[in-house]
Structure 1
Amino acid sequence: MKFGLTFFPVLSPAERSAAAYFDDCLRLAEVADVLGYEHVQTVEHHFSPYGGYCPDPLVLLAAVASRTARVRVVTGAVVPAFEHPAALAGRLAMLDNLANGRLDVGFGRAFLPQEFAALGVPMAESRARFAENVAACRRLWEEEDVVWSGEYSAFGPVTVLPRPVQRPHPPVFIASTTSAESCAAAGSAGHHLQVVPSVTSAEGVRAMLAAYRTAREEAGHAGPGRVQIKYTCYLSPRRAEALAAGRRWEANYIARMAEAVAPWAAPGVGGDDYPGYAALVDKVRAYDFDEALAGDKVLAGTPHDVAAQLERIADRFGADLSVSLQFNPGGTEYMEAERAVRLFAAEVAPRLSER
């Protein structure tokens, strides 16, 4: 297993300023870089306390790149449906240059109806726009004088500048929450995969990873592909302290997510592009911290406890995972988050490496 940091801001200006949150993220990224973490990633969300402090992951990751030397910077994920592909491909290539070839590009479809409505993008076009714009970005990175004629954009001849450092392009990850079909498509295309297990059963995650790995192998792509899986982690030398923090900040996360997914309760939202998402509101409301902890959907406890959880995760999903850890959800104090980052590197990661 490899380990990195995820930054997913779940807070509002009334709780903490964005400037203070970003400062914490950059300081934690510097610590992670020194301690040998593999990556730092952040999400794209808009307009709400559920991730809305990060409407443009590239800006935060450029700052991370400027203050680190080794960690990879990862979009986890950027939403291609919300941008013109030529503009997005150029901005990502610029970030790859600023990071000296340390960029991994995760693409996601987005799932919050209010984001689509505000940005003027029909949710019914989500899947098609996603596939078209990912393909367009790849061509723009790989080729010069690209002529593109798609359903949603047409341009050319266009040569993106700057050219990406990594050739033929930065590694591409596809983010999937519940869909084994999407995972299989990512495998067939030779992409890598990002998975969030918090709203999917262990059996569902296994099915998603199996679909990805089988499709990738059948398509003849070299190697097994890289799989990133994301968890929030509450770590302390004292178990009671870690569990208390987990209960507090998971309750905050669920409250914010419940607000963000509330539009799914309306009939007909999302159409055929989002099968099963109508049940998301009830799923979020039914979240129970103790059940999530017992099912290893959230990591919490002492280093021994968390290492045992990760060993079970490796047994379920594979030991070749890259685990992306959120240590500073909500308004976590900086020193508390840094202590957890250091404790994980000193006492948890080595146990998994030995295994």
Structure 2
Amino acid sequence: MKNVEDVYKLSPLQRELLARPSSSPEPRVEHLQWSFRGELDEAALEGALKELVRRHTALRTALFTQGLPEPMQVVRAQVDPTVERHDLTGLPEAEQTARIEQHLATQRERGLNLIAAPLAGLTLFRTSQAMGTCVFGYSPLVLDRASARICVKELFQLYKATREKSEAGLEPGQPFRKYVAWLEQQDSREAEVRFREALHGLPPSMLSERAGTQELPGASDWLTQQLVLSTSESETVQTFLRKNKVGLGTLVQAAWAVLLRLQTGHADTRFGVYSPGRPAGTPWSEVMVGGLANTLPRRISVPSEGNLLRWLRGLHADLSAWQSADGVSSAQVRQWLGVPEGAPLFQSVVSTEELAEDDVLVPLARGLGFQPPAVPLSAPAHPLTVGVVSAARVSLRLTYDTRRFESLAIIHLTGQLHGLLVGMTTQPEQDLSALLQSTEEPPRVTASSSRELGPRELQALLARHPAVRQVTVTQGPQGLVSHVVPAPRPGAGKKLDFSLFFFADDGGGSERYRLYLEAGKFADQNGFSAVWSPERHFHEHGGLYPNPAVLNAALATVTKNVGLRAGSVVLPLQSPFRVAEEWSIVDNLSKGRAGISIASGWVPNDFAFAPENYANKREVMFRNLDLVQRLWRGESIPAKDGVGNDITLRVFPRPVQEELPIWVTCAGGLDLFEKTGRDGYHMLTSLLGQSLEDALQKTGVYQTHLRNAGHDPSKRVATLMMHTFLGKDTQEVLHKVREPLTSYLASHVHLMQTMAKSLNLQVDINEPKWVRYVASFAFERYYRTGALIGTPTSCLPMVDRIIEGGVNEVACFIDFGVETDDVLESLVHLAELKRLVDDEALRTRHVLNEYLDERLPGARPAVTFNVVEALPAVA
């Protein structure tokens, strides 16, 4: 036979998939897609595809059925795949999207020619010269979802190696025949006994369906509802799993079983479980590419009482034992249980996936200019699929046939499942009886008769959002209209200013101050309160900023509105005369926009300017501050001239402002916060060497001393400096900031000491080998608990927290090592966050629109939101 490397039988799962009728809801082709931005080497991409196909027998496999006693799979010795290209440049964006979606829908419907390998391919849609979308399409007969993800990861690695003319360093591919041979060696009698004992006589757990489902005309119509757990909820779930060595699959199956018991009234539940199908104890299966995954029925009994955690651990052990039976097909199970063809083995299916923290796919993709492929929504193959994915956050996805399930019912199921997952992981020692009693009962609401998401469904969905107190959704002449009364929120209505803060490394290059100047102009045009520049000497960290007055003078000539501040002037190093003169110049150039924060300094090298002041630097700081303020007001100050004569001096030019706005840079103990409050100055602090909780507590101390000394806190500014970088996508943001922020953290010993303590890491931070180790851990904690890093929406809870803590200005530290162009682009998203904080109605509309996008991916209807104080009266 020509061009044949191997011929062997199909696996039981392949035979079952091949035998399913054309009317079956399973797609004939599934897809993983990603976008790219920047230069794409098409020749290198096609070369990577050819090498990928050469590596894996599953990608060179064709399936033959005609004229054979039984179907066989034939592995071709050579296959020469090419990238299918579509040029969509010049078309409107909406039409580009429509054409891509239509192409994928057609491919899903038609499928692939099973006798023509490869049964997978790569399609490139160019939407502009430097942007586009790539789609990896594959037949479920030769690849499962995990295998497709392996293929895409290797494709990226091969593409990178081809471009760099290096070796990809991949392990040899494993032939799919090895898995089929392993299956043939298994004794199916043990699996048969297990399935018979567990499931015989137990009907599938059936949730209520629409009346007259069987008589509804037309094909199935699928929708997906998604709920993404908050960052704190996700951390709770993931910490519980790690601490108790319980798998995500165990937790979700247990929660679904509890929910089914509540819905059906039966303690014994039966539903389908999607299994990766990779045999335990076989290292080759972890890297194998093929169709290994399977969906089989499981039985879980939910006791009426008993310790929840103990039950979960026992369930985890029991479910692990079932892995030995994952290789059988549902047709075999149907035969063992005596379930006739056409009768359901299960109504609902649970599918879980944990993306490892060390998964190289995401950073690899971003390093190549690709948007990492998302975990695809569950392919519609069953009436209801419950998918849970654990990545940076945990997401729930319920995909359902709208012919059989009312969308309103799925909304309530999603909310109940969310509550169960959070409740079970928050209180794992509770008794099952308490869990069963505490779970929310769905309200009885009449759903829309249409299969579409109507006003009642959307109203129920919106009512679940914590930002909503009351809501209505009605059908208006121009579409759906929602009136929303926002829920009370601590801090709502309080003002928070945003400013930009610089403290950078000297990255070199010919445009060292481009970021400073361009960001300053952006701040000026977008309503930011100020730009801060520090005073640093004799070190590359902050070495761009030896004189903040000079830099602010430059910025004064290209701005009109934004405040120009020093953060900070190290007063023990400076002559009060020079400080008053220089900042008077800035005040004149800016027409009254100058301001300074003062600091006592902490780096001994800096005191080469005034070594005599180091020992008493704080005392000197306040003494010099008094002189600066007097000079600013126009007073004459005693001094000595060059020959020792006593003289009095005033400074020129005269400033525009009668008083120079003064901040005191506070860190460390409470005494400086207390004194700053007593003396009535503004306060500037940061999270270098203190946690956010400590900083907010000290802010409260500062404001208490302001009030006690008779100063009005509403006329004083409490400024908190925070690392800041925002974008459209959280994962893309993390990719851009991870390395520079980790390096920044590693370079600041005080911050490392604080982080090591908060993480309970017993290490000596003075040893270089531990610095990077702690910095990597610190990054994960810091970006969540001490920075504005993410999207405008994801940063809102942090903003609320600092407002509640008494902060009324956040100084956004933006130049900690991220590429200049990326930082400038991120300012657009920071300005969006500022607008959301300034405008409560805009915030509510924005949050609810994103909520619907998230909850109803690809299927949300357009809704016009009106934010009101009270719902309109019903006519």
TM-score band by shorter chain is 0.7 to 0.9
SS at structure 1 position matched to 2:802: helix
- Are 2:707 and 1:212 aligned? no
How far has the Cα of 1:351 moved from its partner?
2.0
Among all aligned residue pairs of Structure 1 and Structure 2, give the percentage whose two residues are the same amino acid. Answer: 24
Instruction: Show CA shifts across 1:266-290 (max 9, x none).
Output: xxxxxxxxxxxxx9969x9444111
What does the per-residue CA deviation read over 1:296-335, in whole Å, with 9 as the maximum and x for residues that have no partner? x1221122112222122222x22x51111122322x3332
Q: Distance in 2 between matches of 1:52 and 1:260?
A: 20
8 Å Cα contact 2:501-2:532 kept in structure 1: yes
* AA at the equivalent of 1:352: V
Task: Note the aligned Cα RMSD (angstroms).
Answer: 2.6
Could you tell me which amino acid in structure 2 is paired with residue 343 of structure 1? H
Aligned counterpart, 2:519: 28
Aligned to 1:200: 690
Query: Which of 552, 563, 574 is residue 72 of structure 1 equivalent to?
Result: 563
TM-score, normalised to structure 1's length?
A: 0.84
Q: State the one-letter code of the partner of 2:797.
A: A
Q: Structure 1: how far apart are the matches of 2:538 and 2:752?
A: 13
Give, in angstroms, the shift of residue 118 of structure 1. 6.4
Q: What residue is the counterpart of 1:48 in the other structure?
A: 539
- Note closer, same or farther for the CA distance 1:301–1:82 as it changes in structure 2 (3 Å cut): same
| CA displacement, residues 47-97 of structure 1 (integer Å, 9 cap, x when unaligned) | 111112211011111111111000000111111110111121111112111
Cα shift at 1:155: 6.5
Amino acid of the residue matched to residue 579 of structure 2?
A: L
Match of 2:814 in 1: 327
Letter of the structure 2 residue corresponding to residue 32 of structure 1: A
Give the aligned residue type for 1:146. Answer: I
Distance in 2 separating the partners of 1:333 and 1:201: 27
Contact 2:500-2:812 at 8 Å conserved across structures: yes
1:62 and 2:547 matched: no
Separation in 2 of the partners of 1:335 and 1:280? 34
Aligned equivalents of 2:647 and 2:708: distance in 1?
34
- State which structure, 1 or 2, has the greater radius of gyration over its C-alpha atoms: 2
| Residue 508 of structure 2 is aligned to residue 16 of structure 1 | yes
Equivalent of 1:177 in 667, 680, 683: 667
Q: Per-residue deviation at 1:111?
A: 1.3
Once residues 766 and 530 of structure 2 are traced to their aligned partners in structure 1, the CA distance between those partners, rounded to angstroms, is 31
Letter in 1 for 2:666: S
Task: Verify the 8 A CA contact 1:303 1:343 in the aligned structure 2.
Answer: yes
Q: Which amino acid aligns with 1:310?
A: V
Q: Which has the higher contact order (CA 8 A, sep 6+)?
A: 1
Query: Residue in 1 aligned with 2:79?
Result: none
Matching residue of 1:39: 530
Show the counterpart of 1:127: 618
How far apart, in 2, do the equivalents of 1:280 and 1:182 lie?
Answer: 27
Task: Return the match for 1:147 from 638, 642, 650.
Answer: 638
Q: Which residue type is aligned with residue 54 of structure 1?
A: Y
C-alpha distance 155-314 of structure 1, shift in aligned 2 (>3 A): farther
Which residue of the other structure, out of 770, 793, 817, is the alignment partner of 1:304? 793
Shift of 1:259: 11
TM-score by length of 2: 0.35
Structure 1 residues 108-117 or 53-62, which shifts more?
Answer: 108-117
The whole-number CA distance in structure 1 between the counterparts of 2:539 and 2:609 is 12
**Residue-pair matches, total:** 324
Gaps of 5+ in 2: 1-495, 754-763, 841-875
Instruction: State the SS of the aligned residue for 2:511.
Output: helix
Counterpart of 1:50, as a letter, is H
Q: Name whichever structure is richer in helix by fraction.
A: 1
Distance 1:163 1:80, change over 3 A: same
Residues 280/211 of structure 1: CA separation in 2 closer, same or farther (3 Å cut): farther
For residues 178-225 of structure 1, the C-alpha deviation after alignment (integer angstroms, 9 at most, x for no partner) is 232111111111111111123212332133212211211121123431
Question: Any gaps of 5 or more consecutive residues in structure 1?
Answer: 263-278
Match for 2:711: what amino acid?
Answer: H
Instruction: Quote the Cα distance in structure 1 between the aligned partners of 2:551 and 2:830.
Output: 23
In the alignment, the residues of structure 1 paired with residue 749 and residue 516 of structure 2 have an alpha-carbon distance, to the nearest angstrom, of 25
Q: Distance in 2 between matches of 1:293 and 1:28?
A: 22
Aligned position for 2:123: none
Q: Is the 1:81–1:121 contact (alpha carbons within 8 Å) kept by the matching residues of 2?
A: no
Partners of 2:535 and 2:751 lie apart in 1 by 14
> Residue 54 of structure 1: SS of its match in structure 2?
coil
Secondary structure of the equivalent of 1:10? Answer: coil
Per the TM alignment, residue 122 of structure 1 is displaced from its structure 2 partner at its CA by 4.5
